[in-house]
Amino acid sequence: MLLSQGRLRQTIFASIFISTLTGSFLLFRADVFEKLPVPKQLKTEASPPPKPTPLYKPAPELRPDITDNFPRAAKANSSSELPGIPPWNKPPQPHIQEKTPLFIGFTRNWRLLQQVVVSYITAGWPPEDIYVVDNSGAMHSNQKGLLTLQNPFYLNYKRLTTLLEVNVLTTPTLLTFAQLQNFFTFTALEKEWEHYFWAHMDSPAVSDEEYEEEGQPYQSLYMRAINVMRQTMQPDYGLLAARWFAYDRLTLVRTQAYVDVGGWDTLIPFYMTDCDMHERLWMKNFTIEDAKAGLIYDVASGIDDLEVFYRRNPESTKREEKVKSPPVEPPAPVVRSDGRNSPEYHELLKKLDEMQRAKNEDKAGRNTWQSAQQGGQGEPFYRDGAGFEQGISMTMNFGRDVFEAKWGRGPCDLRKAGLHEDDAWRVIPGWEKEEVQQKAKEDRERERKKAESRALEDVSHT
């Protein structure tokens, strides 16, 4: 049925009114809802990101525990229980007139230290003249027996001083190589030693038992080294700084020469500090000369039983044979005693030569012995072995940078390049490069023109 025109207008008006009223109501409600407080449980706040936790490097591969390489000394209670020094290598008694101190610096690896100490004792060096410098950085921990064998910084203080009867000096903190060398010189000054020797702890020494100088009797490594020292003590010998035996595996130092050049540069902690020191000595016209005293090896491992260095004492066997009563039963076979230049001696040399060759051919590097131990956790002054090695490596690289900044070049031949003592820290880095030389020339020309221009201005103003 069709709506009348009046009724249609009423219906349209009613629809518009209801729509308007509904919209107004919804707007009103929205406004009210916005103003109403939101319950706490409905509030949503962004949660903070999780706090980062340390991420760790893979655990290092475990190495087997080391064992002490002098079993007889480990069982001994006094020096009399150790083998005798080979008679042909015994030091003179009484002691010679000259003072003959030998420094051996130690930071880590007890097996190698013990090996080199035993080697020098059995090569004739008087134990009372040997000074092991405990540079472990563990202060008095080794002296008090607080470190254990697996700790890289462990040394057996009691065995060194009581059984082997050598001296042990302790540095107040961990020293770099350059600082340790200055410690040697400082100690020599304190004790008024005009000369001193120092040796690397990874370089065992053996007397050359085949050596006989024409018309002279056999001499041990110690006595041959002392003869070299006596030569340098002659008043007319000249400006000597050092004598090198097998490069510097054993070095004789004239104390005052090192003082005169200001000692080792401690800003160059490890590598290149020797180059810096020796070049400065040569720049001041000091000499460094090669010498021979015996056989000195460069190794990265220790012989498992150091008793081979003692070579047995033939006198003790003979003494036992003299007091032996006539046997009732057939005597037990007598163990053949070692002698000078014996097959056992050559076996020792062969072993040391193999160890030296293995070090030089090791693809992992020549100084793997420095990080061979991983123990010591929980002991005084403990350091993570891998971290310590990394820190030392970073310090070495820093030293190379310092050397290059000091002399403006990286290679060691400073004098050959035309440098002099007073050039330290004064030369432009990379001064040998053609582009650096050209730039310097241009800079000088520019400065010359500026100076001329200023001079002309001054004249015009007057």
Q: Which strand (E) or helix (H) includes residue 245?
A: strand 240-245
Q: How far is CA 332 from CA 315, 322, 335, 344, in A?
A: 19, 15, 9, 22
pLDDT digits (tens, 9 = 90+) for 257-316: 999 999 999 999 999 999 999 999 999 999 999 999 999 999 999 999 999 999 864 344
Strands, E, within 256-347: which ranges? 287-291, 295-296
Within 34-166, strands assigned E span 102-106, 130-134
Residue 61: the pLDDT is 84
pLDDT tens digits for 305-340? 999 999 864 344 333 333 344 455 544 444 445 899
Is residue 310 helix, strand or coil?
A: coil
Nearest CA among 56, 85, 112 for reference residue 222: 85
For position 27, what pLDDT does the model report? 44
| CA distances for 87 relative to 81, 124, 213, 437, angstroms | 17, 9, 19, 64
What pLDDT is recorded for position 20?
Answer: 52
- Give the length of the chain: 462
Of the listed ranges 39-53, 114-128, 347-361, the least confidently predicted one is 39-53
Query: pLDDT tens digits, residue range 49-94?
Result: 999 999 999 988 888 899 999 999 999 999 999 999 999 999 999 9
Percent of the chain at pLDDT > 70 equals 84
**pLDDT at residue 381 is higher than 70:** yes
Of residues 98 and 59, more confidence is placed in: 98
Predicted pLDDT at 329: 52
How many distinct helices (H) and strands (E) make up the chain?
12, 9
| pLDDT score for 2 | 47
Contacts of 74 by beta carbon, 8 Å cutoff, 6+ apart: 68
**Cβ-contact 208, 221 below 8 angstroms:** yes
The number of C-alpha atoms within 13 Å of 181 and in the hemisphere containing its C-beta is 23
pLDDT at 41 (0 to 100): 59
Burial-class residue 288 by CB neighbours within 10 Å (0-12, 13-18, 19+). Answer: middle
Between 445 and 36, where is the model more confident?
445
Q: What is the pTM of this model?
A: 0.83
The percentage of residues in the chain with a pLDDT greater than 90, rounded to a whole number, is: 70
Q: 310: closest CA among 114, 122, 128, 92?
A: 122
Contact 170/143 with Cβ under 8 angstroms?
Answer: yes
Q: How confident is the prediction for the chain on average, in pLDDT?
A: 87
Q: What is the pLDDT of residues 197-251, one digit of tens each?
A: 999 999 999 999 998 877 789 999 999 999 999 999 998 999 999 999 999 999 9
Give phi and psi for 379, each to the nearest 5.
-90, 160
Q: What per-residue confidence (pLDDT) applies to 40?
A: 58
Q: What is the pLDDT of residue 333?
A: 40
Q: Which two tokens stand for residue 397?
A: 């690289």
Residue 95, pLDDT score: 97
Q: Is the pLDDT of residue 342 over 90?
A: yes
Question: pLDDT tens for residues 387-425?
Answer: 999 999 999 999 999 999 999 999 999 999 999 999 999
Per-residue pLDDT tens over the stretch 119-144: 999 999 999 999 999 999 999 999 99
For 164-191, b/e burial (b = at least 16 CB within 10 A) is: bebbbebbeebbbbbbbbbbbbebbeee
Question: Residue 401: in which H helix or E strand, if any?
Answer: helix 385-407
Helix orientation angle between 385-407 and 273-283, rounded to the nearest 10 degrees: 30
The reported pLDDT for the residue numbered 42 is 55
